[in-house]
Structure 1
Amino acid sequence: MSANNGVRRALWKRFIDSAQPTLDRWHEQLEQPELTQERLLQRLLKANSDCAFGRAHHFARIADSMQFRDNVPIHAYAQLHPWIQRAQQESEPILTSRPPLFFERTSGSSALHKAIPYTRDFLSEMHSALGVWLADMHRQVPGISHGSGYWSMSPPLQVPVTGPNGIAVGSASDLEYLSGSNIAGLAGTLLIPEFAGDLSNWRRQTLLALVADADLSFISVWSPTFLTSLLQPIFDGESAEHEQTFAWLDNALPTARRSALRRARSQGVCTELWPRLAAVSCWMDGPSRHYYRQLAARFPQAQWLPKGLFATEGVVSVPFGDGPGCPLAIGSHYLEFLCEDGSLRNAHSLRMGESAQVLLTTGGGLYRYALGDRVRVVGMLGATPRVEFVGRTTVTSDLVGEKLDEHIVQNIFDRCITTTGAACLIPNASAMPPHYLALVATPEDLDAGALALAVESELSNAFHYNQARRLGQLGPLRVRLLKGSADLLAQVLQQAAELSGIRAGDVKPRPLINRLETAEAILALTESSCRHL
C-alpha cells in the first residue's frame, strides 16, 4: 500500500469515527419520523420567528404542523422570489434570522433563474444527510477508502458576484458546501483537477487526472451521462475531436498508464485502467436508469450505488441501508407531500406505492417550497418510507439536468418560427449523447440549418441546458421538417401517443414531449418521411 493510500484510509477512519453520533441519531429518527419532523419544524419556526417572513406568517404563534399549513401557503419559486430579492438587497433578516452565507444559482423548470439562500443552518442540515450517506456507503463498500476518490465538481460557469448587502451570489467551488463539516476532511482523499482555461480544457485535464491515477477507488457523479461524456474520447475512435484528445492523453501519460489506457480502448472496459475501483455512485432511477445501465458495462469491477434525491434547494432522501429506494431525509428538513388526489401528507403517513410531489421547509429560508419533483414509496426502513425519484411534476424534460419546460419551449418556437405551421421539441434519449429534435410542420420552405441554429441559441439561454451542452451531456439540437400544416403534426403526435399506450381521448397537443415512449414513437414515425438536419 502506498503512503498516500495510507493517509487516505486514515482520513476516512477519522471521518467514520466522527460520524458515529450522527448515525446513532439517524437510527433513532428512522423509528420515530413523526416526532422527529415535528421537533424539527418547531425548531425552525422558533429560530426564524423574528425575521420578516416569520413575522408576516406569525411563526411565533404556530403550535403545530396543522397551524403551519394554515398560516403558510405552498410556494413555487415565483412566490418566494420577492422575499429572496429582499434577502439579496437588504441587511435586516428577511427569510431567516441569520443571514445567508451565499446564494447558489440554479434555473429550475421555469424561465426564472433561481438564487437559493445557503445559511449555516441549511448547510448543517445538508451535512447531516451527506454524513449518513458517506458513512453507510463505506459500510457497504469499504474499498472506497483504499485509494483516491473523484467527486464531480463542476467549474463555476458564472463568476460569483456580490449583492448590495455584501452577500455573494454564486459559490466559487463545490467544496464550499462542505465548509465547517467533518466531511471536509475527506477532501484530502480526493482527486481534484485544476480548472484552467475554457471548459474544453477542463474536461481534458479532468480526464487526464483520472486516467493517470491507478489508485482510483471511488467515483461519485450526479448524472451518469456526465461520466459517459467525459470518457467518450477513450472509447470513441470515430470522432476527430475525440481522437485528438486520445492522442493527447496517450502522449501525456507514463508508459504503464499509457498501456492501461490502450487496453481500456481495445477491451471496451475500464477494468485494467482502474483495477482498485470499488464503487461508482450516480443517479440510477427516473430518467437516468437507461443511461446508468449502459455506463455500468464499462465498469464490471465496481459496485454501483444510488444517489438519493439531493437538489440545490435541499435533500429529500438519503442512500442508506439495503432495499429499493432511499429513506426520506427526515432529520434534515421538514417534508410534506402533495398526493395525486390533492391531499397533503406528512412523511410518516405516506403509504406503499403512493406517488407525491415534495414540499420542503429548510433552514435556508424555503417554506413549504414546491420542489417540482415527484417520488414514489417503494419500501420502509423502521417507520420511515423509502422512496424513489419518479420525475418532475410539470410538463418538463430533464434527461441530464437541463430542466426544460413547455412554457420555455413554446416561447422559443414563437420567436424562431414566423411561418404558419406548428412545432414540438422531442428528446432523443437513445442517442449518445442524447439530444433534442425540433419537429416542425409547415407548408412553406424553411432553411432547416438556420432554424436549428436559432432554436439552439434560444435554448442555450436556459442555464442548465447551456451547462449540459457545454459539459457534453447533450448533443446539438437537430431539426426535422414535415411538409404540411399544423394538422399534420397533430396527426403524428396523436398516432405516436396511441402507439405508446396513451388512450386516444387523453392525447393533448404540446410543444414539448416529455414522455420517452411517445418521443421514441414520434422519432420512428418521422424517420423516413422528413427532411433532416
Structure 2
Amino acid sequence: MNPPVSGTRDAWRTFADAAAPTLAAWQRVLDDPAATQRQRLAQILDTNRDTAFGRAHGFAQIADAAQYRERVSVHSYAELEPWIERAQRDTQPVLTAQPPLFFERTSGNSAQQKRIPYTAAFLGELQHALTIWLADLYRRVPEIGEGRAYWSISPPLQAPGRAPNGIPIGSESDFAYLDGSIVAGLAATLIVPRLASDASDDTSAWRRQTLLALIEAADLAFISVWSPTFLTSLLRPLFDADDPTHRDTLAWLEAALPAPRRAALRHALEAGSCDALWPRLAAVSCWMDGPSRDYAATLQARFPQARWLPKSLFATEAIVSVPFGDDEGCPLAVAGHYFECIFDDGTVRETHELAPGDIVQIVVTTGGGLYRYALGDRVRVVCMTDRTPRIEFVGRVGAHSDLVGEKLDEAGVASVLAACIAAGDSACLVPCAAADPPHYVLLVASEVPCDRDALSVAVESGLARSFHYAHARRFAQLGPVRVRHLAGSPARLADLLQQAAEQTGVRAGDVKPRALVNRLVTADALLALTQR
C-alpha cells in the first residue's frame, strides 16, 4: 500500500515553511557574493586558527584573501593526505577545531580512494545547499509534493571502520548527511528498497530490489540521481530485449508485483516509456552538462511526463554549485565554502571577479578542513544570477592516460571524438595496457555499423596532433587505435561503463560518462565486457 498523499504533501509543506528564511537569505547573498565570501574565509580561518594546520600556516596573522594565498599553497589530495592521516591518529585538533564526525571514503573514477573529514561545520555547509535546492525545487515544481520521491542511495562498498583514534571511517548511509537538518523531515517521503542485510554485497540483488520498489510506487513524483547513466542502467533490463537479464527480470517482477502494477508495467513496455508506470512523476534531477549531456537527452524520451532539471556540481569533498532558478547552469555555492578560481594561465580570481564565458578550475576551502583544495573540476561561467556566477561542468583537470609517455587528457580526447564520431553515437577511448605493444581501443556504440578502419585513421590523426602521442606512435611504443563497434543503442556504452566501474569498486550512483577511461582496472573490465 502506498502512503496517503496527504502525508507527503504535509512533509513538503512543513519543510518549505522551515526553509523559507534560508531561501530568503540565499537570495540576498546572490547580490553580494564578495562580502559573503570574505566572511566565509574569515570565519573558517578564525575558527581553526589554533589547530595544528592553522598554527603551521599562521592563520592568526592572515587578514585577507591575498595573505591566505601567500601562506597556504594549493593542495592536491596527495599533498594534504599527511595532515588527514595525522587527523586519524591524533586526539588533538589537526585540521579543524571540531573533531571529524567521520572520514568519508570517495568512490569516484580516480584510482586513489580518499578519506575526506566530515565535521559538523562541513555537514552544515552541505545541508545548507540541500535546503536551498529542495526549497527552490518545491517552489518551482510543487507537484513533487503530490507523491513520494526516489533519491539515489548507493549501497556502501565497504563496511564502516575505525581510524586509530576511534573516529569512524565511512558513513553507515548517505542519510547520515541529513542528521539534524530540516531536510531530514523529508526522509519519510522517500522510496526505500527492501534489502536484506547483506544485499549491498550483491549488486544484482540491490538493483532488482530497487527496480521493484520503484515500479511498486504508483505515486512516484520525483527522481533524483547523479548520473543519467545510473538510471539508464537501472531501466535497461526492462526496455532492452537484448539485455541478458531482460527475461529473468521481467518474470521476477511479474511474480512480485500486484495486478495493477503488472498491468502498468506491461503498458510501459508496449509504449517504450515510463508515463504509464509513474503518471504523477513531475521532475527528474540529474547531471545534464559535460559528458552527461547526451546521455540525459537520450534518457528524457523515457519520461515524457516529467520536467528535467540539472544537478549541481557536488563532490564528496565539496558542494560547488546549487540548483536554483530556471536559468542555465547553477549558481556557485558562495554561502557554503570559500572558492578560488584558477584560469589556464595560472591567474587566480575570486568568484565575484568572474564573467560569462570564463573557464576555470575550482579550488575550495571548507569547514571540513580542506584548505585551498584543488577539486580537479573545470567549469564554465554561463551567465549570472544577480552578481553570482552560474556555472556548468566542463570536465576533469588531470583526467589523463599515460601508458608510455603519450600524456592523453580527457578534454583533448573528447575534442577528437567529437570531430570523428557521427552525431547521436557515443564513444570513449580505453587504454589496453596489457597488450604488446600497448594501445588504445575506441568503443563506439551506434545503431548502424561504422567503418572501423576509416574511424581508426581519423582518431589516430586527431590524437597525433599531440606531440607526445605522435612521438610514442613514431617509436612504436604504442600500437594504433583499434575500434570496437557496439551494435544497438548509443546508450549501450554508458551501460557497459556503468557495469565495469561497479565491478571495480565505484559506487553505482557515482559513475560518470567518460570520453577517456583512465582508471586501468575499470579499463580492463570494460575491455573484457566488450571483448566479443
- Shorter-chain TM-score category? 0.7 to 0.9
1:496 is matched by which residue type in structure 2? V
Say if 1:497 and 1:507, in contact at 8 Å, map to a contact too. Answer: no
3-state SS of paired residue (1:335): strand
**What's the counterpart of residue 194 of structure 1?**
194
Q: CA distance change for structure 1 residues 254 and 505 in 2, over 3 Å: closer, same or farther? A: closer
Q: What is the CA distance between 1:239 and its match in structure 2?
A: 2.9
In the alignment, which of 401, 419, 443 is matched to residue 406 of structure 1? 401
State the alpha-carbon separation in 2 of the partners of residues 104 and 284 from structure 1.
26
SS in structure 1 opposite 2:93?
A: coil
Match of 1:128 in 2: 128
In structure 2, relative to structure 1, the CA distance for the partners of 1:410 and 1:312 (3 Å cut) is farther
Give the aligned partner of residue 172 of structure 1. Answer: 172
What does 1:108-119 align with in structure 2 at a 5 Å threshold? 110-119=110-119
Which residue of structure 1 aligns with residue 31 of structure 2?
A: 31
| Greater CA drift, 427-436 or 368-377 | 427-436
1:348 pairs, out of 343, 349, 352, with: 352
Q: In the aligned structure 2, how far is the partner of 1:348 from the partner of 1:153?
A: 34
Q: 1:230 to 1:492 in 2, by over 3 A?
A: closer
Instruction: Specify the alignment match of 1:371 in structure 2.
Output: 375
User: Where does the alignment leave 5 or more consecutive residues of structure 2 unmatched?
Assistant: 406-416, 446-451, 473-480, 488-529
Cα deviation code 1:278-308 (max 9, x no counterpart)? 0000000000001101110000000001001
State the AA in 1 paired with 2:459: A
* Alignment of 1:336 onto 2:299: no
Residue equivalent to 2:100: 100
Q: Residues 436 and 494 of structure 1: is their aligned pair in 2 closer, same or farther, counting only changes over 3 Å?
A: closer
What is the CA-CA distance between 1:351 and the residue it aligns to? 1.3
Partners of 1:492 and 1:522 within 8 A in 2 = no
Residue 93 of structure 1 deviates from its aligned partner by 0.5
- Cα pair 1:125 1:332 within 8 Å, conserved: yes
SS at match of 1:19: helix
* Match runs of 1:432-471 below 5 Å: 437-438=430-431
- Structure 2 residue identity aligned to 1:393: V
Contact (CA 8 Å) 2:455, 2:483: kept in 1 or not? no
Supply the distance in 1 between the matched residues of 2:23 and 2:218 (Cα, whole angstroms).
32
Mapping of 1:34-433 within 5 angstroms?
34-107=34-107, 110-196=110-196, 197=199, 198-394=202-398, 396=399, 405-406=400-401
**Consecutive aligned runs of 4 or more in structure 1 exceeding 3 Å deviation:** 107-111, 426-444, 491-495, 504-508, 521-527
Q: CA deviation at 1:323?
A: 1.2
Structure 2 Cα separation of the partners of residues 41 and 436 of structure 1 = 41
**Amino acid in the other structure paired with 1:369:** Y
Aligned AA for 1:25? A
Residue 496 of structure 1: aligned partner: 459
Hey, what's the Cα distance between the residues in 1 that align with 2:100 and 2:133?
25
Alpha-carbon distance in structure 2 between the residues aligned to 1:194 and 1:258:
19
- Using the size of structure 2 for normalisation, the TM-score is 0.79
The 2-side partners of 1:106 and 1:36 are apart by 29
Q: Using a 3 Å threshold, how does the CA distance of structure 1 residues 511 and 319 change in structure 2: closer, same or farther?
A: farther
| Cα offsets for 1:231-286 (capped at 9, x unmatched) | 11110222332210111001111111001101111110001110000000000000
Give, in whole Å, the separation in 2 of the partners of 1:526 and 1:276. 35
The answer (yes or no) to whether the contact 1:44–1:363 under 8 Å persists in 2 is: yes
- How far apart are the structure 2 equivalents of 1:247 and 1:435? 34
1:249 to 1:27, Cα distance in 2 relative to 1, 3 A = same
Partners of 2:395 and 2:68 lie apart in 1 by: 27
2:177 partner letter: Y
Q: Is the 8 A contact 1:496 1:525 kept in 2?
A: no
* Aligned CA-pair RMSD: 3.5
CA distance in 2: counterparts of 1:8 and 1:160, whole angstroms: 32
TM-superposed deviation, 1:523 = 3.3
Query: Take 1:377 and 1:24, find their aligned partners in 2: how far apart are those partners?
Result: 24
What amino acid is the match of 1:148? R
CA distance in 1, matches of 2:108, 2:60: 32
The 10-residue stretch of structure 1 (42-51 or 99-108) with the greater mean CA deviation from structure 2 = 99-108
Separation in 1, partners of 2:471, 2:369: 34
Instruction: Judge conservation of contact 2:194–2:213 (CA < 8 Å) in 1.
Output: no
Distance 1:431 1:176 in 2: 40
**TM-superposed deviation, 1:505:** 4.5
Deviation, 1:25, is: 1.2
Q: How many angstroms apart in 1 are the aligned matches of 2:307 and 2:174?
A: 25
Query: Retained in 2: the 8 A contact 1:410–1:511?
Result: no
Q: Which secondary structure state, in structure 2, belongs to the residue aligned with residue 311 of structure 1?
A: coil
Tell me the secondary structure at the aligned position of residue 279 of structure 2: coil
Paired-residue identity, %: 52
Look up the equivalent residue of 1:509 and give its one-letter code.
Y
Query: Which residue of structure 1 lines up, in the alignment, with residue 7 of structure 2?
Result: 7
The CA distance in 2 between the partners of 1:524 and 1:244, in whole Å, is 28
CA distance in 1, matches of 2:99, 2:423: 45
CA contact (8 A) 2:456 2:483 kept: no
Structure 1 length as normaliser, TM-score? Answer: 0.79
Higher mean C-alpha deviation, range 188-197 or range 1-10: 1-10
- Shift in alpha-carbon separation, 1:77–1:239, aligned structure 2, 3 A: same
Letter in 2 for 1:154: S
1:297 counterpart SS class: helix
